[in-house]
Amino acid sequence: MGRRAQPSASLLLFSLGLVLLYFTAGRTVRVAEAQQKTWCIAKPSASNEILAQNLDYACSQVSCAVIQKGGPCYYPDSLVSRAAVAMNLYYAYSGRHAWNCYFNNSALVVQSDPSYGSCTYY
């Protein structure tokens, strides 16, 4: 009986590399899809008291210059609009984690960019 040829170590490593590439490539795509950019906005139904607290807290943690008079997000001149911008600044600064957009259950994470005019939500 003849002896069967044994695969070389380099051929085995190459094959293992291809198998790993096959399984991790699909995972990489799914991770990229899961990390789609999101924004944090104020719930329109939130009370003015809560929105004012959110605005004060967010602006104590990050710069809210964009919502000051003359800033690109000053208008519309409403508490819900300014709070939404400030809450999103805090959310983005903190790493875009869902728990950074809770604000006492007065905020929402959205996948549609809420930017408008010259006001850019980061």
Query: 69 lies in a domain?
Result: yes
- Would you say residue 11 has pLDDT above 80? no
What single-letter DSSP state applies at residue 46? S
Query: Looking at the 3D structure of the chain, how many domains does it have?
Result: 1
61-89 pLDDT tens trace: 999 999 999 999 999 999 999 999 999 99
23-36 pLDDT tens trace: 444 444 444 444 58
Separation CA 20–CA 9 (nearest Å): 16
Query: 121 lies in a domain?
Result: no
Q: What is the DSSP string of 62-115?
A: S--GGGSTTSTT--S--HHHHHHHHHHHHHHHTTS-GGGG-GGGTEEEESS---
Q: Which two three-digit tokens encode residue 64?
A: 């809210």
Query: 82 lies in a domain?
Result: yes
Domain span including residue 50: 39-110
Query: 117 lies in a domain?
Result: no
What's the chain's average pLDDT? Answer: 83
The model carries a pTM of 0.71
Percent pLDDT > 70 in the chain is: 71
Query: 10 lies in a domain?
Result: no
Query: 5 lies in a domain?
Result: no
Query: 96 lies in a domain?
Result: yes
For residue 84, what pLDDT is reported?
A: 98
Query: 2 lies in a domain?
Result: no
Q: Quick one: average pLDDT of 84-100?
A: 98
